[in-house]
Structure 1
Amino acid sequence: MTTPSGPEVFDSPTGWVADHIRKYVESGGREGHFYQGHRSLLLTTRGRKSGLLRRTALFYGEDDGRYLLVASNGGAHQHPAWYLNLTADPDVTVQVGPDEFAVRARTAAPEEKPPLWRIMASNFSLYDTYQEKSDRDIPLVILEPREGE
């Protein structure tokens, strides 16, 4: 999908996620921000292999002006592609409702993760279930405003 303000962005190839993104974008964030009873945002990363812009929809939480994401991949044994992309290039963009802005992503350090995980698990209880069934430590991502932006 070509954005009005920039280069082509490729949405998730998963059908229901692509539908969610389309509604979110076409409505200017009026539809899709709340999805299945949870707040969601659109995350755009740069593909670590392709260099292309990739967009997905994710549930989020907030803590002290920061946005939080869980790289659960439904409890799968591998990290989701979006997480691998942002670890390669942490300067990403998000759309939260009608607002689109630049952020820097980082993985929560082990000592800061427990209280942030509780925030996210209280928003979406399946995160605890996903962690229990996975053999990997599911990352929690913190999105912070970029300096000077």
Structure 2
Amino acid sequence: MLYGKEHVRRYQETDGAEGHDWNNTTVLLLTTKGRNSGRPYTTPLIYQRHGDVYLIVASYGGAPDDPQWYKNLRADPEVEVQVKGEKFAARARPARPEEKPEMWRVMTATWPQYDEYQQKTDREIPIVVLERT
């Protein structure tokens, strides 16, 4: 099973042949700019297509704080995305309140643990919408 930096490396080396299909779901690579360092950071994240956009979840396994990648994209929403061999620029935004219930259902259908993660934390876990630019 691939995790962390090894997951990113294998995904990049194989254009997602290794790493896109993961644990009965699908994974993309999100690259954000560090809000303090300005350096690029790439994170493998479960995703689903939803119409013309891609959805990811800032769950951090139900931790009490948001993941670093989410804090980075809140500071600078211009991100890079890789889905298999396709790389593109995108703008990231949190799902709007009226969008979130349907998007949450889409994401929990592919990764049911998101419901468990939400129960473990007091923060509202954001769904992030990635729109191509």
Task: Give the TM interval when normalised to the shorter protein.
Answer: over 0.9
Supply the AA of the counterpart residue of 1:85.
N
> Following superposition of structure 1 onto structure 2, how do residues 1-149 of structure 1 map, counting pairs within 5 Å?
16-146=3-133
What's the TM-score once normalised by structure 2's chain length?
Answer: 0.96
Residue 16 of structure 1 deviates from its aligned partner by: 2.6
Residue 145 of structure 1 deviates from its aligned partner by: 1.1
Name segments (4+ residues, structure 1) moved above 4 Å. Answer: none
Gaps of 5+ in 2: none
Residue 28 of structure 1 deviates from its aligned partner by: 1.9
Supply the AA of the counterpart residue of 1:43.
L
Residue 27 of structure 1 deviates from its aligned partner by: 0.9
Residue 111 of structure 1 deviates from its aligned partner by: 1.4
Separation of aligned partners in 2, 1:33 and 1:65:
19
- Superposed CA deviations along residues 28-84 of structure 1, whole A, max 9, x for unmatched, are 221111011110000000000110000010000111110000000000000000000
Supply the AA of the counterpart residue of 1:134.
T
What's the TM-score once normalised by structure 1's chain length?
Answer: 0.86
Gaps of 5+ in 1: 1-14
Supply the AA of the counterpart residue of 1:35.
W
Percent identity (aligned): 50
Separation of aligned partners in 2, 1:20 and 1:145:
23
DSSP-derived class of the 2:19 partner: coil
Separation of aligned partners in 2, 1:59 and 1:16:
12
**How many pairs were matched up?**
132
RMSD: 1.0
Supply the AA of the counterpart residue of 2:62.
G
